[in-house]
Chain A
Amino acid sequence: MNATFLPKIPIGHWADVFIQFITDHFDTFFGYIASGIQGFVDSLVWLFLFMTPVVFILICAGVAFWRRGWGVALFTLIGLILIYDLGYWQHAMQTFALVLTSVVLSIIIGLPLGILAGINRTFHRIVTPILDFMQTMPSFVYLIPAIFLFGTGMPPGVVATIVFAMPPTIRMTGLGIRQVPGDLIEASNAFGSTTWQKLVKVQIPLAAPTIMAGVNQSIMLSLSMVVVASLVGAPGLGADVYLAVTSLKTDIGVEAGLAIVIIAIMLDRMSQNTRGKKTGGA
């Protein structure tokens, strides 16, 4: 396999040893995280199913109407009814819970990191190549250590999804903060703001549209990970697609795929920037 004069650098071996070391010594720690994620996703699924499809669909249509108006609300209504009609309701709820958990955790972790990258150049320089790595490394690769650390099922699926989906939130938050015009930062300083006041009263509100664009991208990337997550046993629509592919069942593949697309469009429209009503255009 290796025909050069150079001795092979054992990167793979190192990664192996590293993961082995972590599994050996932090097993309990990752066990806690895994059960935490599992518990969170389970309660979300329970909540969604407890609501009954009617209530759930009405709530989603309501949010869609509040965020974007009639068109999106109508799409949400018809789309979700279709998913119910096709018989994928429970799996759809599992996928929904998976995506929601991943996105919420992405925001909780990504937002502070993004803000830090926005105000600190050094941190920005350190974090950028790491984000590049996270996004370009084929997402399947994350699954291997995820299984070692978190077992199978929902938790490794969520973790792999987060690793893949979080970078846009961090990047766009940092970008949004850095893009706040210099004279506004100056004005804020000139009136004696503390770093925190400047952040909360000026930088974050002005970066909000960009941050939301990042969150929107994170949501889309999370959805694109559902099939990959099913490889490690995460249940939901992804598992249906995976099954359809391995057993060559066109009908299931199309139906489950369509359900994912419906959820994707719905979440995308809901999380996109609304009219920018406050700044009045400009």
Chain B
Amino acid sequence: MKKIEVRQAIKIFGKNPRHGLELLEQGLTKKEIKEKTDLNVGVAEASFYVESGEIFVIMGLSGSGKSTLVRLLNRLIEPTSGSIFIDDQEITQMKAEELRQVRRKKISMVFQGFALFPHRTILDNTLFGLEIQGLDKREREKRALEALALVGLKGYEASYPSQLSGGMQQRVGLARALASDTDILLMDEAFSALDPLIRKEMQDQLLDLQDAMKKTIVFITHDLDEALRIGDRIALMKDGRIVQIGTPEEILMNPANDYVAHFVEDVDLSKVITAGNIMTHADAVTIDRGARVALKLMNDNGISSIFAVDRSQKLLGVVDADDAAQAIKTSTAIGEFVKKVQPVKVDTHLNDLFDDISKSSIPLAVVDDQGRLRGLVRRGAIIHALAGNTPLTKDKEVQHS
């Protein structure tokens, strides 16, 4: 479901923005318009949508218009033209009161500089949105305390923002946004002011919270690593325009133009590509089918071992050809010969696979969260991916060791 949809949004700063629209239509770039007039193109013809429950990252260097773009979504900045829909309601057409209700109930925001109120305690900062909504004191304090507990700041209710570290302050900023219990969270460079370790910690916490809450998050950042780490999809901006929108893998593997390619060239692929991206189909034998079936499958596919699963596709281990033959000879159940293997998860990054693959003589089994076999990863596929070619399409061809 499309939670947010932006159609041809344009923002031009300056005295006569209409004139800028005409120039933009004539195909002039931000730089050319800036030179000809005193107009500054903040966002040019941005169109995209954000799915419900998705983390959508808008990334770009400073001055690329990303902070302007996110402010168009809740109309902290009025777009010069274009339309923006939240839950299929056109926010760009709303009257002041309607807009206020949307800001109270549907969209909350986390700011780069935290934007905490220095004259309010942590608790009073957190319940600000609820206070604005006019909730009674007991209810808003209860919900604010819940939100503070969620971000791990229990016990700091009575402190003032200046008494907290940067990381803790931004947790308050996050709690304040969560307390309103809106579906949409706008995060404007929310972690950029934090030092790298804290930033990583906050990213993890955000991902954990997102697992539990399934918000629709629009996350602004200038940090490519951050974008790749948390984004389900990424929109890359340059000079007010969206250059490319795609999943992290798509952006890395199929850059839309030289700019994107240049931007992503230094990325450590092993930290981005997951086992799920490079895995291929795995043949498996269901354990109660017996040793003969297992041996036949191995023969047919020209492989010397095969993964064994139960009826619900849960991975049990691996059986090799010798064991299968032994089982047939001694007419024991094949289950006796299943050797345990250490599987990897679908979302495991390549850099976490190196160790496992180097120790294993057979391909790595890839399982999902329920332990069901989803595919396998061969040594060659990893090297292939690191060389910059990812088999995004899952080929059927199978060659066990």
Chain A interfacial positions (CB closer than 8 Å to B): 181, 183-184, 186-194, 197, 201-202, 205-206, 278-282
Contact = CB atoms under 8 A, between A and B. Distances in A.
Contacts of A184: 115, 117
A187 B111 CA distance: 8
Q: What are the 9 tightest A-B residue pairs by CB atom distance, in nearest-first order?
A: A192-B104, A192-B103, A282-B162, A187-B115, A183-B115, A191-B129, A190-B109, A192-B100, A279-B118
A280 B160 contact: yes
B111 A186 contact: yes
Interface string B340-358: 0000000000000000000
Interface residues of B, number: 28
B109 A187 contact: yes
Q: Interface SS of chain A: helix, strand, loop or mixed? A: helix
A201 B117 CA distance: 10
Contact of A191 (B108, B113, B118, B162): B108
A191 B163 contact: no
Nearest to A209: B119
A192 B129 contact: yes
Contact of A190 (B101, B103, B112, B118): B103
Nearest to B130: A191
B160 A191 contact: no
A226 B243 CA distance: 70
Given A191-B108, A192-B129, A206 B118 contact: yes
B119 A183 contact: no
A191 B132 contact: yes
Nearest to B100: A192
B326 to A, nearest CB: 69
A4 to B, nearest CB: 42
B197 interface: no
Nearest to A189: B76
B133 interface: yes
B160 A278 contact: yes
B219 interface: no
B180 A191 contact: yes
Interface string B75-111: 0100000000000000000000000111110011101
Given A278-B160, A279-B160, A281-B162, A193 B132 contact: yes
A195 to B, nearest CB: 9
A7 B64 CA distance: 61
Contacts of B160: 278-280
A193 B76 CA distance: 12
A280 B103 contact: no
A278 B108 CA distance: 27
Contact of B163 (A197, A201, A280): A280
26 contacts: A184-B115, A187-B111, A187-B115, A187-B117, A188-B128, A189-B76, A190-B107, A190-B108, A191-B103, A191-B128, A191-B132, A191-B180, A192-B101, A192-B102, A192-B104, A192-B132, A193-B100, A193-B132, A201-B131, A201-B132, A205-B119, A206-B117, A206-B119, A279-B118, A279-B162, A281-B162
B286 interface: no
A282 B109 contact: no
Interface in B24-56: none
A189 B111 CA distance: 12
A189 B71 CA distance: 11
Contacts of A189: 76, 103
Given A187-B128, A191-B109, 4 more contacts: A183-B112, A187-B115, A192-B133, A205-B119
B82 to A, nearest CB: 20
Contacts of A206: 117-119
Contact of B74 (A190, A201, A202): A190
Interface in B383-400: none
Contacts of A202: 117
Contact of B76 (A186, A280, A281): A186
Nearest to B118: A279
